[in-house]
Amino acid sequence: MQWLSYLIWPIAVISILLIFGYFFSTMANFIASPFNCWLAEKLEAELTGTPAPDTSFAVLIADIPMILAREVTKLCYHLIRVIPLLILFFIPGIAQTIAPILWFLFGAWMMAIQYCDYPFDNHKVKFDQMKLALANNRTTSIQFDAIVNLLTNDPYINLVIMLLQYVVQQQCGLISTV
């Protein structure tokens, strides 16, 4: 059975790297969320031609607790749904066929929630209302965010995805439902 260690070590290392990457990405989004809200506000002002509200750095600092609370809400929403999906991977037959497809679709849906949340939050739209607005345009959200989900696997493209997604969703009319 010594030969089995040559298979287990690479799988263990890859698993640890994936878990670390997922954790790092989640923490990076959590830490960057106040700045992403500010960026979405400025970009919306640029796209619509209306002046952005005068938000100083002090106003941004004052909004941080509310923004981080919203991030915790998104994280809880994600965890409650991801655990049953993870369990599907342990059921023979389903793990090889249905679970990866559901995982990808759920990832696309979470991308829609993650990146559409910033402009919705800037307009003080509640999280449940945002989910309903996205669900009304679910096909458009999932199609676009499936592409985003694929592109975010490249760390360099991942840096510009937030800006790209906002611009395209503005063009698709998803954000105008606010």
Query: Is there a domain that residue 160 lies in?
Result: yes
Query: Is there a domain that residue 24 lies in?
Result: no
For residue 39, give its domain range: 33-177
pLDDT tens for 92-151 read 888 888 988 898 888 888 888 887 888 888 888 899 999 998 888 888 878 877 887 777
Query: Is there a domain that residue 13 lies in?
Result: no
Q: Which of 99, 34, 100 is nearest to 62 (CA)?
A: 34
pLDDT tens for 86-103 read 899 899 888 888 988 898
Query: Is there a domain that residue 17 lies in?
Result: no
Query: Is there a domain that residue 62 lies in?
Result: yes
Query: Is there a domain that residue 162 lies in?
Result: yes
Query: Is there a domain that residue 121 lies in?
Result: yes
Joined tokens for residue 125: 């739209």
Query: Is there a domain that residue 125 lies in?
Result: yes
Q: CA 46, 52, 55 angle in degrees (round to 5)?
A: 135
